[in-house]
């Protein structure tokens, strides 16, 4: 669905489907060049990164392998708890591998800094991050995110994989959720 189909639930479209596609192509070209001659494992963080992973991996003009991890740092609400829990671990041994973590959004950065440390401890040859969206708060925590799609304001957003209480993931655009929906 498009933002117009659920217009009473959102206040503003921040990034359109078309803008996302163009950005993914641009970053895919950069990633293909950066990893030229090296095997690359994409690790998607469930569930938010499903759409990014699907489109980004197909934009890449390079063979890759894929794995998934599910972690949670959020409860049912819209604020990070700071506690990261593994809900589904990798199926792959990442020892000696070049890993690119594919994330939907970096908010506080807590999830990512935890994941980076965790992956390095498993002996990955390299670990980099691609986040489609980044909120300014992310700058407060020390996380090195090599590839960023869009910097967005500090507002709760939904769409393109991002949910509120499991809804809105199938929205094609990224939009700001109207406060009346969650307050
Ligand atoms: P932190 O704060 O650890 O959070 O960087 C990262 C994870 O939190 C979720 N998140 C959001 N989900 N709209 C959402 O639907 C948002 O605006 C939002 N901000 C953070 C997301 O799962 C991300 O991986
Ligand atoms: Mg989420």
Q: In this structure, which ligand is nearest to the CA of 145?
A: 1
Instruction: Give the model confidence (pLDDT) of 51-89 as tens digits.
Output: 999 999 999 999 999 999 999 875 555 566 667 889 999
For 35, the token pair is 């990893």
Atom number, ligand 1, closest to the C-alpha of residue 168:
15
Q: What is the dihedral of CA 73, 53, 150, 70, to 10 degrees?
A: 0
Rounded to two decimals, the pTM is 0.93
Instruction: Give the model confidence (pLDDT) of 42-51 as tens digits.
Output: 999 999 999 9
With contact defined as beta carbons under 8 Å apart, do 113 and 120 qualify? no
Q: Helices 50-59 and 17-34 meet at what angle, rounded to 10?
A: 60
Write down the ipTM of this complex. 0.90
Q: Please tell me whether residue 142 adopts helix, strand or coil conformation.
A: coil
Q: Does CATH number 3.40.50.2020 belong to domain 17-152?
A: yes
User: Is beta strand 65-74 parallel, antiparallel or unpaired with respect to 41-46?
Assistant: parallel
Which residue's CA is the nearest one to ligand 1's atom 21?
Answer: 105
Substitution site in 43, 71, 104, 145 for ligand 1 pocket (most atoms within 8 Å of beta carbon): 104
């Amino acid at each position: 669905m498009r933002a117009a189909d659920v217009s009473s639930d959102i206040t503003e479209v921040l990034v359109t489907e078309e803008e996302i596609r163009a950005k993914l192509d641009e970053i895919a070209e950069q990633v293909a060049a950066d990893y030229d001659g090296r095997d690359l494992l994409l690790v998607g963080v469930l569930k938010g990164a499903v759409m990014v992973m699907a489109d980004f991996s197909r934009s890449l003009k390079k063979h890759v392998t894929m794995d998934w991890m599910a972690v949670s740092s959020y409860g049912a609400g819209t604020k990070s708890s700071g506690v990261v829990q593994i809900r589904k671990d990798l199926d792959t041994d990442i020892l000696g591998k070049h890993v690119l973590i594919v994330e939907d959004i970096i908010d506080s950065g807590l999830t990512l800094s935890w994941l980076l440390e965790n992956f390095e401890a498993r002996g990955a040859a390299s670990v980099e991050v691609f986040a489609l969206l980044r909120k300014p708060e992310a700058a407060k925590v020390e996380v090195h995110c090599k590839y960023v799609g869009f910097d967005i304001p500090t507002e709760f957003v939904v769409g393109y994989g991002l949910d509120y209480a499991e809804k809105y993931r199938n929205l094609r655009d990224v939009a700001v959720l109207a406060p009346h929906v969650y307050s």
